[in-house]
Chains A and B, each alone.
Chain A
Amino acid sequence: MTTSIEAGPAVTAGPAPSPASSAPRPRLTQRGRTRLEIGILAGPALIVFVTFVILPVVLAAYYSLFNWNGNGPLERFIGIDNYVRALSDPVFQHAIANNFAILGLSLLIQGPLAIGVALLLNRKLRGRTFFRALIFVPYVLAEVIAGLAFKLILSPRGGINGFLESVGLGDLAQPWLGNPDVAFGVMFVILTWKYLGFAILLMLAGLQGVPQELSEAAAIDGASWWQTQWRITLPLIGPTIRIWMFLSIIGSLQLFDMVWVTTKGGPVGATQTMAVYMLQNGQGAPGYGSAVAVILFTISLVIAVIFQRAAIRRDLAGALTTTGGR
């Protein structure tokens, strides 16, 4: 009890003192001046942010309750009909399923792959900077440009099919993005290509924070390389892994650019995602599109909150820092 009372003021006392308080000006003017400064400095950012970020999201929630084509007045209030219609549309259901499939596959395949490569590359390696730059190239490209590149490579008369034919595997050649049986898998491969480098770099950055002394100590105690990674390094980069998971989850749920330029959700909805569905069905009908947007937002938010409660909050307790206290 006493410790917590003592700790409270001791912590806040540091940054609290306001340096200008000794100025001889009258109090009220001083306060008015401060308010003016706050207004001038923070005002423009607040206005832009509220008008162009918050307001549209609020408007989306409002529009979603109307049957509206975007031009006339908002008159035909239809309650939750748009939501009912969207959630009972098999195409949209399939889109939601696709988003979750990409989410699951990303966590199960990209995560371990990225950690594995990062563990291997986290050693003295000639030309490490160069490899790092190469691995990062897919991530810096615009998703659209990368998508267009893959469209060229995977088209029926593209590089992959040409290569297959030239090595005698012409039977395997097919319209990779046009065949409903393989399009989803191909899409996931493209996404992995695009985002694995980022995951690897993130993990490498996390590994830099693991003190060398720990693995040295483990080596002295006779632990093998794998034991050291499994028991010491992995638990220590837990926070990095969880942050990556979080970014990956959000990215998977909001996937748009790549799908839009390569397949537009086709063939036959095989690569449909929520955001693509929203734009396809919402441009002429902002009421309906907004309902889809709100569903997308709600799903992302709920999953983000659950994930933060379950995983990220543990990091605040900090594996290493609490051992001293306990």
Chain B
Amino acid sequence: MTTVETRRAAGPGYRRPDADAPPRRRRYIDWSQPFVYLVALVAGAVAIGPVAYVWISGFRTTADLNADPAGWPNPWSIDNYVRVLTSERFWGNFFASSLVAFGTTLGVIVLGVAAAFVIARYNFRGREAMYALFAAGLMFPVTVAALPLSIMLRNFELHGTFIGLIIPQIGFALPTTIIILVPFLRAIPNELEEAAAIDGAGRLSFFWRIALPLAVPGLVTVGVLAFVGSWNAYLLPLLILGAGGMPQDFWTLPLGTQQFSAQYSVDTGAVLAYTSLAMLPAIAFFTLAERRIVGGLTGAVKG
């Protein structure tokens, strides 16, 4: 009973926070604090455990691993890591992943922001339809398009090329990009556009000089999402690079790592090292861009 009343009473207060804030009185016995830390520790350990196993086991020799798969490195050997890091193959995979991810990100930002600008700031018939078309793209999974897409690319003679992978990835990243960017561009006050028009700027130069700089935070968010999506992608690279005849030294990292582990399955140490090193870029990138990734992923919820 009382809780229901409280909710009713608190509702309007939440919407109009200008009312004098009640004095903060929050004092109940925190018997659960140690329990909270325990849960946090367990959750953290479970999350990082498998990753740590792979990283640490990478420091063991294959013979050592075969004798006892769960042991601690004794002695620590950087052999596996050195071998992987001096192989052309790993760097080829790394280069391919970087090239494809940068290409996809750049492409999706350029095409996405231009289209989002049109949807956000032009009045024309078909604007709603255009937005609906892109939004519907969210429901078109890569899985469904994959087979016809690879046949199509074969006809365009783009099968097995980087550009043949980058362009479809741009297409599949466009819906999210446009849905995130449209509100950003729409939020720019009309007064700015009017002022620019009085100063003789057309809408294109308004776009270039004012809207674009103001949309930078949004561009960073969609850029990070597109980059991570491309970096982790598997199905399209498998069908376009893998089945398309690109040499395996220039497959993207997920594909290349899988191929390496299939080819050298006996050399467990090397496979562990290859897998660990393939994890590093994503984790490094994540620590740099954590805010953006989390913000981008949860943005839809707050809207």
Contacts and interface: CB of A to CB of B under 8 A. Distances in A.
Interface residues of B, number: 116
A286 B190 contact: no
Contacts of A109: none
B124 A53 contact: no
Interface in B21-75: 21-22, 24-26, 28, 32, 35-37, 39-40, 43-44, 46-48, 50-51, 53-54, 57, 66, 68-71
Interface stretch (A3-11, A86-94, A160-168): A160-168
Interface string B215-235: 000000000000010011111
Interface of A: 15-20, 22-23, 34-35, 37-38, 40-42, 44-46, 48-49, 51-57, 59-60, 63, 70, 117, 120-121, 123, 125, 130-131, 133-138, 140-146, 148-153, 157-163, 165-166, 193, 197-198, 200-202, 205-206, 209, 211, 213-214, 216-223, 225, 227-228, 231-232, 239-240, 243, 250, 254, 256-257, 260-261, 275, 278-279, 282-283, 286, 289-290, 293-294, 296-297, 300-301, 304, 320-321, 323-324
A290 B147 contact: yes
B91 interface: no
Contact of A149 (B8, B46, B50, B297): B50
A49 B139 contact: no
Contact of A135 (B22, B47, B66, B234): B47
Nearest to A242: B301
B25 A216 contact: yes
B293 A140 contact: yes
B123 A256 contact: no
Nearest to A205: B298
B179 interface: no
Contacts of A197: 47
Q: Which 7 A-B pairs have the closest CB atoms?
A: A162-B70, A162-B69, A142-B232, A45-B115, A56-B145, A52-B171, A144-B254
A144 B149 contact: no
B15 A324 contact: yes
B275 interface: yes
B197 interface: yes
Contacts of B278: 142, 145
A121 B175 CA distance: 33
B142 to A, nearest CB: 8
A228 B28 CA distance: 13
A242 B4 CA distance: 23
A162 B68 contact: yes
Nearest to A19: B194
Interface in B1-21: 2-15, 21
B246 interface: no
A247 to B, nearest CB: 9
B73 to A, nearest CB: 13
A42 B57 contact: no
A277 to B, nearest CB: 11
B105 interface: no
A221 B243 contact: no
Contact of B123 (A16, A143, A304): A16
> Chain B binding site: helix, strand, loop or mixed by DSSP?
helix
B275 A137 contact: no
Contact of A15 (B186, B257, B290): B186
Contacts of B255: 144
Given A131-B40, A142-B253, A220-B25, A261 B258 contact: yes
A50 to B, nearest CB: 8
A157 B190 CA distance: 66
B156 to A, nearest CB: 9
A216 B24 contact: yes
Contacts of B66: 157
Given A53-B140, A243-B300, A323 B69 contact: no
A15 B190 contact: yes
Contacts of A202: 297-298, 301
A256 B143 contact: yes
A16 to B, nearest CB: 7
Contacts of B70: 159-163, 165-166
Contacts of B8: 323
B203 interface: yes
Interface string B143-167: 1111111011000000000000001
B278 to A, nearest CB: 5
Nearest to A241: B301
A217 B6 contact: yes
Contacts of A15: 186, 190
